[in-house]
Amino acid sequence: MWDLRWVLLGLGALLVVGVYLWSKSLGGRRLFPDTSHRARAEPTIGESATVADGGSESTPPAAPATEPQPRKPSHAPDRVITIRLIPRVDEELSTERAVVALTGAGLTHGKYGIFHKEGDDGEPAFSVASLTEPGSFDLANLQETTIAGLTFFVVLPGTGDPVSRFDAMVETARALSVELAADLHDERGSSWSVQRERYLREEIIDYRHQAERH
């Protein structure tokens, strides 16, 4: 039973983060081109047009077509660091309690219907989604609803110092685990430990050094 639950939670977390990153990579682009206001293409005349008096009038050469410039591909994230918060007493967590705790920790409900902790530049330092599909929080229907837990994630490269963003996420997740009587786990479902935190932090420090060299 627990093995199946971990599999479902893992798939749910991957779906939430995947949708988030996919939406960011679109950068506001339309999935399909908008043709409602496209100008109708008029036929062109390749030869001289005959006028009423029987003569001919030369047609000026058409202006060369402008080749469309290729769109630059969006920068895909290098890595996503994830922490899961799972309730230890009950199998589900009150959605209302979770939202109150997130708001009290300084996060705001925003884009994609999830919570974000804004950095000094106004961009998300880290984000928090629900472990229950579709991952968003419906603030209009909080009472008597539950979720399987929370997933905290930092997207690299992002903006701002990645180490500071990671530390802020860990500190917030640890505080909320106490408030919500929940346990922390890494992206593999293993219990969160000081060793795991140090390992990931060292990886992020190395990532920052490599980014600075480039």
Is residue 43 within 8 Å of residue 178, measured between CB atoms? no
Q: Token match 């000026």: residue? A: 60
Residue 88 DSSP SS3 = coil
Q: What is residue 146's predicted lDDT score, i.e. its pLDDT? A: 94
User: For the chain, which residues make up each domain, given as ranges?
Assistant: 78-213
CATH architecture of the domain with range 78-213: 2-Layer Sandwich (3.30)
pLDDT tens readout for residues 15-62: 455 545 544 443 433 333 333 333 333 333 333 333 334 444 444 555
Confidence of residue 65 (pLDDT cuts 50, 70, 90): very low
Residue 25, C-beta contacts closer than 8 angstroms, at least 6 positions apart:
74, 76
Q: Token match 């402008």: residue? A: 66
Q: What is residue 29's predicted lDDT score, i.e. its pLDDT? A: 35
Q: Choose between 16 and 151: higher pLDDT.
A: 151
Confidence of residue 212 (pLDDT cuts 50, 70, 90): confident
